[in-house]
Amino acid sequence: MKRQDMLSLAERLYQAIHQASHNVVAVDCFQLGVTPECLDAAAQQMDMVLPEDFKALYQVYNGDNVSVAEYFYVLAGYEWLSLERVVAVWQDFKDAGLAQFEEDDLAHDSRVRPVFWSEKWLPFADDNGYYLMLDLDPAEGGEYGQVILLANDGEPVSWIAPSLSVWLASYIEDLHNKIWVFDVDYHGMILASERADYQRIEHEKSTQTGCFDPNRLAQQAALMQQMSEQVKQLVPEAMWAQWQNMAHMPLLDMDDATLKVLQNLQKCLSQSD
């Protein structure tokens, strides 16, 4: 993609965000772009040939400006990583050693190689461990520079778009069509289809109802304590630590169906004593 074309696309993104947010988002919500020399240095450090649209975009904007007084996640709810953060996040993944693992039965999209992570995946946006990445080593049928989503919950890698520029153009269109909307309390853009659920959860939190009801939380905590005592008698010591970690996880997202499953499991454990 030519730099002039990306300038136009970036300007459309900027205008769409301000229109969707009713000009609440700061005018300097993005950092100024980096130099070609900075991009060359990053490419060399990661041993990559960066896609042309990535280089063109980062010469216009260098990710979110997280230093503004009122910072919002305006890139589809993600933090748009600066080039420095791109390299740092990529290095963190590399240091974790995940690239050495390959599984033919991973249920990735067929356009994505069946690996847990690849050194040729370039992260550019993060939402609490959910990373948008550019895939520079696609599987047969994929495209160099395609956008993929790597989740932190073990879900298969998702194919998102054939390129960064196509994904940006689609996001701009979705902003105009109000598929993505701005929410001050959410602190950024949220899918309109998910906004009602978010507002319901926030209401329950503020009123201590629903999944935030103190009686419900106490019931869940007591159930987990009972199960922990029973599990300790049944599992090897090495597995006990794993159970403790799970037992101390936040329980606010536990729905009625999950609670019922745990109750049934607790009954089974009691019968096995």
pLDDT digits 0-9 by tens, 51-61: 999 999 999 99
Here the tokens at position 25 are 């988002």
Distance CA 111, CA 179 (A): 26
H/E element, 139: none
Backbone angles phi, psi at 32, to 5 degrees: -65, 150
Could you tell me which residue, 244 or 146, shows the higher pLDDT? 146
- What is the separation of C-alpha 236 from the centre of its chain, rounded to a whole number of angstroms? 34
Taking the domains of the chain in order of start, what are their residue ranges?
A: 3-198, 212-272
pLDDT at 57: 96
Q: How confident is the model at residue 187 (pLDDT cuts 50, 70, 90)?
A: confident
pTM confidence score: 0.73
Residues whose CB is less than 8 angstroms from the CB of residue 158 and which lie 6 or more positions away in sequence, other chains included: 109, 148, 149, 151
Residues composing the chain:
273
134: alpha, beta or left, given left = phi > 0 and alpha = psi -120 to 50?
Answer: beta
pLDDT at 212: 62
Instruction: Give 61-83 pLDDT, tens digit per residue.
Output: 999 998 886 789 999 999 999 99
The answer to whether the beta carbons of residues 13 and 174 sit under 8 Å apart is no
pLDDT at 131: 96
CATH of domain 3-198: 3.40.1580.10
Res. 227: pLDDT tops 80: no
How is residue 26 annotated by DSSP?
A: -
Torsion of the alpha carbons at 151, 20, 167 and 41, rounded to the nearest 10: -80
Res. 105: pLDDT tops 60: no
Over range 169-195, report the average pLDDT: 92
**Three-state secondary-structure class, residue 186:** coil
Q: What percent of the chain has pLDDT over 70?
A: 73
Residues in a beta bridge with 126: 79, 131
Q: Helices (H), strands (E): how many in the chain?
A: 9, 9
